[in-house]
Structure 1
Amino acid sequence: MKRRRGSGLSETQLGYLMVMPALLLVILITIWPVMLSFHNSLFDYRLNDPTRSEKITSSNILMESYADNHYYLEGAIDNAASSTENEEAAAEVEQFAEQYNSYHEELMSFDGVEETFTTVEEMLAGFENINDNELEYVEVDNEFAEEYKAFLEDSAESLGTYVEEGNEDGLENLQSYVNSSANSILESNFVGFENYIDYFQDSRMWASMSNTMIFTVASVFFELVIGLMVALLINRSFKGRGLVRASVLIPWAIPTAVSAMMWSYLYDGQSGIIAHYFEQLGFISDTSQLLSTGGGAMFSIIFADVWKTTPYMALLLLAGLQTIPSDMYEAAQVDGANRWQQFLKVTLPLLKSAILVALLFRTLDAFRVFDLIYVLTGGGPANSTESISVYAYKVLFAQQNFGEGSTLSVIVFLTIALLSVLFIKLIGSDLFDSRTPRK
């Protein structure tokens, strides 16, 4: 029977109450940014495109731009009709004017649009700034906005053919105002899961995912093997063990961006000492091969990551080694087990939990690799070392495409979450096994 305290809460309820701040912190730091990225991924959201610089769920008219262009467009139509000597162009202008007036009248028929349009026109005439969102953006029917914008874009393209044929300044001015009017119609940029569908069919995304998997598997494997050897070595008692342990951790203590820059100099084809000795030892045929070829660049980032992160793996495994009782080795020695047999029968089984934890941490960390690759190779040559995180960064920040960049970020999160679940379920389930061993 669950006991209740003076507050009237059971022990279970008190336990949940105590962990509530931690849960809120996890939601705030982890879940909330992911939800924001997922929300952005549902839009064609680009800061480098004025028509898509905001998330718009329904079509809008940028009224200041529309009213300003409408004022000049009426004069441009009359000027183009009277100045052009091409009969076909004059007929095109007349037909455009008729259709444009029809669309404009239909736009004014929507609730509140004409009043807003008149107010904005008066403010523009008085050179007043329009800072009110209710005046600046007017929501309209999606189908009408799509049809109206398509008409203006097609008309601008059609007028452009006559401009190219001769010196038609009147038509050129008209075409410019028609284009501006088309840009003042902001269609909904909500695309749903279209970004995800496009990226799952994107060969570059799959190539970057493949590069990430190759890097992760290779680097974590070598870090585990070398880290285990280092951990076994520094677990022994010898003179200067403390100094050796401190020295081993130096590569891990160096910031990743700094170590990547350092390795870029070591790999340099002209002055890099690592490239020079690799050529002397016959590992590569030319000193420039390390950073100028796909295979060489992939080897370079794996080698640099193994150098930097092996101490971290060794530290985790050393912590596991120090939990193994020394009498286990004494008993094995009494039974006649040699060093290799002690390692296989005593060390590895008792170190399994530490190995699984180290593998889990390093696998997830390696899959998210960004700074090492970005500084050392930039994802090159020819995207041969581009990881999924580097690809997401380029789309999100270099191209300022927040919609597609957020899509890649969500894909990275889902992949890491899937890896975590599979790792725990298929490999590390015994870490959470609460059953007591049989006597």
Structure 2
Amino acid sequence: MRQKLGFSGWLYLLPTLILIGIFSLWPVVQSITYTLFDYKLNDQQKAGLYLQERFNTDLFQETVLYIDLFLSEDLTNITDSKDKEKVETVLQNLNRVASSYTDDKGIIEISKEERLEINQLYENTKALIEHLTKNYSLTHTDSLPLLVEDIEKSMIPSNFIGLKAYKEALGDKRIHIALGNTFLFTFVSVAIELILGLGLALILNKAIVGQGLVRTTSLIPWAIPTAVAALMWCYLYDGTSGIVAHFFENLGLISQSQNLLLSQGGAMVSTILADVWKTTPYMALLLLAGLQNIPSTLYEAASIDGSSKFKSFFTVTLPLLKSSILVALLFRTLDAFRVFDLIFVLTGGGPGGATETLSIYAYKTMFGQTNFGYGSVVVMIMFVCVAIIAMIFVRLLGKNLLDRN
């Protein structure tokens, strides 16, 4: 019978819950928040999360300063006295409004009346500039219309879009390709790693001479940092001097060694091979821990009953190794599905997106295009896929594995 946690029990758990909230839940909440906004750092009007319309005081002050400077210089080119009066009136209104925001910095909230006043000021200034550029030869004919547009841009509309980005993502062919590449890479690499890792674990579990040295040596690929391992495989795959590329060419697997990383199929196979080489020892290590928990007396009993080693493997080893296989598959599948550094260093997602996974696409969107809103949508799609994979593994291979009882 389970005991309910009292106040003191929850008090002991409080520091852990706080750490989980800060380092695990908060980034997820923040990512979900970004998906609801058209958040782009390279767009001055979308470089923040704005539920309501805002006003960029810095941009407005700078724009008014240059409009005042340029129109003042062009007053000598304006011959009509009425047009000069209009220019002076507009400049007075611009400077009056600008002076009211002298103490404000950055992006601020403004009232409806202030917004209407700024919009009217923009319309008046735009009409004046269009009239002047049409009837006079101004020194700053090209610059003034652009400056006037900056008055309108100083008004920042709300960039809240709700679930619109998710709808866009459902029809994004690039996401479909990236998702397919991710599943292909994950399924093939983890399947090969499980088979090879199980074989390696069985070898490492045998009592042989130099067992400690063999185990230590087998873990070297896994101990190498992923970025370093990917760079090493880049040299091995190089079409000019890479030994692996020339080896594949001699075997007839590829027509030319230069095509290994430049063809879609060759690039995907290359990334899978590099991942299998690096993480098979990790899979073997997890399975080895499970093998060592199987009592040797079970194998002796099976041998007495006339069971061969091959039959004992399927009747004794695999059933008792089920929990370890679940843990190994779960860890490796989630890790492979989120693969980034290996592919980023090895192919960068190319050629032509052939090895572009969801994490690579999210990185390019968020940091290459500084589109954090849509990039967060890609991240959330990956998050949902990872959660579904985890639930499937736990349910199919032992839903009670993680239960305390």
Distance 2:311 2:217 in 1: 30
Q: Is 1:139 equivalent to 2:106 in the alignment?
A: no
Correspondences of 1:116-195 after superposition (within 5 Å): 117-120=98-101, 132-133=104-105, 137-141=108-112, 148=119, 169=139, 171-195=141-165
Which of 34, 41, 49 in structure 2 is aligned with 1:40? 34
Kindly indicate whether the alpha-carbon contact (under 8 Å) linking 1:224 and 1:310 is maintained by their aligned counterparts in 2: yes
| 1:354-405, Cα deviation, whole Å (9 max, x unpaired) | 1011000101011110000000000000111011111111111122222222
Structure 1 residues 246 and 307, CA gap change in structure 2 (3 angstroms): same
**What SS is found at the alignment partner of 1:382?**
coil
Distance 1:417 1:219 in 2: 19
Q: Is 1:336 equivalent to 2:267 in the alignment?
A: no
**Which blocks of at least 5 consecutive residues in structure 1 are unaligned?**
4-9, 86-92, 109-113, 124-129
1:200 aligns with: 170
| 1:165-218, Cα deviation, whole Å (9 max, x unpaired) | x97656434312212212222111222222222222211112111111100000
Structure 1 residues 189 and 233, CA gap change in structure 2 (3 angstroms): same
**What SS is found at the alignment partner of 1:51?**
coil
Kindly indicate whether the alpha-carbon contact (under 8 Å) linking 1:77 and 1:174 is maintained by their aligned counterparts in 2: no
Distance 1:433 1:184 in 2: 57
Kindly indicate whether the alpha-carbon contact (under 8 Å) linking 1:46 and 1:401 is maintained by their aligned counterparts in 2: yes
Distance 2:224 2:65 in 1: 63
Greater CA drift, 58-67 or 362-371: 58-67
Correspondences of 1:385-396 after superposition (within 5 Å): 385-396=355-366
C-alpha displacement at 1:253, in angstroms? 0.3
Correspondences of 1:13-52 after superposition (within 5 Å): 13-52=7-46
1:89 aligns with: none
Kindly provide the amino acid, as one letter, of the partner of residue 37 in structure 1: S
Kindly indicate whether the alpha-carbon contact (under 8 Å) linking 1:63 and 1:138 is maintained by their aligned counterparts in 2: no
Structure 1 residues 13 and 138, CA gap change in structure 2 (3 angstroms): closer
Distance 2:114 2:396 in 1: 51
Distance 1:237 1:115 in 2: 89
TM-score scaled by length of structure 1? 0.79
| 1:13-55, Cα deviation, whole Å (9 max, x unpaired) | 4443333322222222111111112222222222222222222
Correspondences of 1:231-310 after superposition (within 5 Å): 231-310=201-280
C-alpha displacement at 1:84, in angstroms? 10
Distance 1:300 1:84 in 2: 73
Kindly indicate whether the alpha-carbon contact (under 8 Å) linking 1:41 and 1:403 is maintained by their aligned counterparts in 2: yes
C-alpha displacement at 1:304, in angstroms? 0.3
Structure 1 residues 240 and 16, CA gap change in structure 2 (3 angstroms): same
Structure 1 residues 243 and 73, CA gap change in structure 2 (3 angstroms): closer
TM-score scaled by length of structure 2? 0.85
Distance 1:11 1:70 in 2: 64
Distance 2:304 2:160 in 1: 72
Q: Compute the RMSD of aligned alpha carbons.
A: 3.8
Distance 1:142 1:264 in 2: 62
C-alpha displacement at 1:296, in angstroms? 0.4
C-alpha displacement at 1:224, in angstroms? 0.2
Q: Is 1:224 equivalent to 2:194 in the alignment?
A: yes
Which of 349, 371, 396 in structure 1 is aligned with 2:319? 349
Kindly provide the amino acid, as one letter, of the partner of residue 16 in structure 1: W
Which of 176, 181, 192 in structure 2 is aligned with 1:211? 181
**Which blocks of at least 5 consecutive residues in structure 2 are unaligned?**
none
Structure 1 residues 371 and 136, CA gap change in structure 2 (3 angstroms): closer
Correspondences of 1:56-67 after superposition (within 5 Å): 56-67=50-61
Distance 2:250 2:100 in 1: 79
Distance 1:197 1:421 in 2: 25
Which of 55, 65, 82 in structure 1 is aligned with 2:49? 55
2:369 aligns with: 399
Q: Is 1:381 equivalent to 2:375 in the alignment?
A: no
Count of matched residue pairs: 397
Structure 1 residues 115 and 338, CA gap change in structure 2 (3 angstroms): same
C-alpha displacement at 1:288, in angstroms? 1.5
C-alpha displacement at 1:302, in angstroms? 0.3
Kindly provide the amino acid, as one letter, of the partner of residue 313 in structure 2: F
1:111 aligns with: none
C-alpha displacement at 1:118, in angstroms? 3.6
**What SS is found at the alignment partner of 1:298?**
helix
Kindly indicate whether the alpha-carbon contact (under 8 Å) linking 2:238 and 2:245 is maintained by their aligned counterparts in 1: yes
C-alpha displacement at 1:303, in angstroms? 0.3
Which of 369, 385, 390 in structure 2 is aligned with 1:415? 385
| 1:249-276, Cα deviation, whole Å (9 max, x unpaired) | 0000000000000000000001000011
Structure 1 residues 57 and 347, CA gap change in structure 2 (3 angstroms): same
Greater CA drift, 378-387 or 415-424: 415-424
Distance 1:170 1:352 in 2: 77
**What SS is found at the alignment partner of 1:52?**
coil
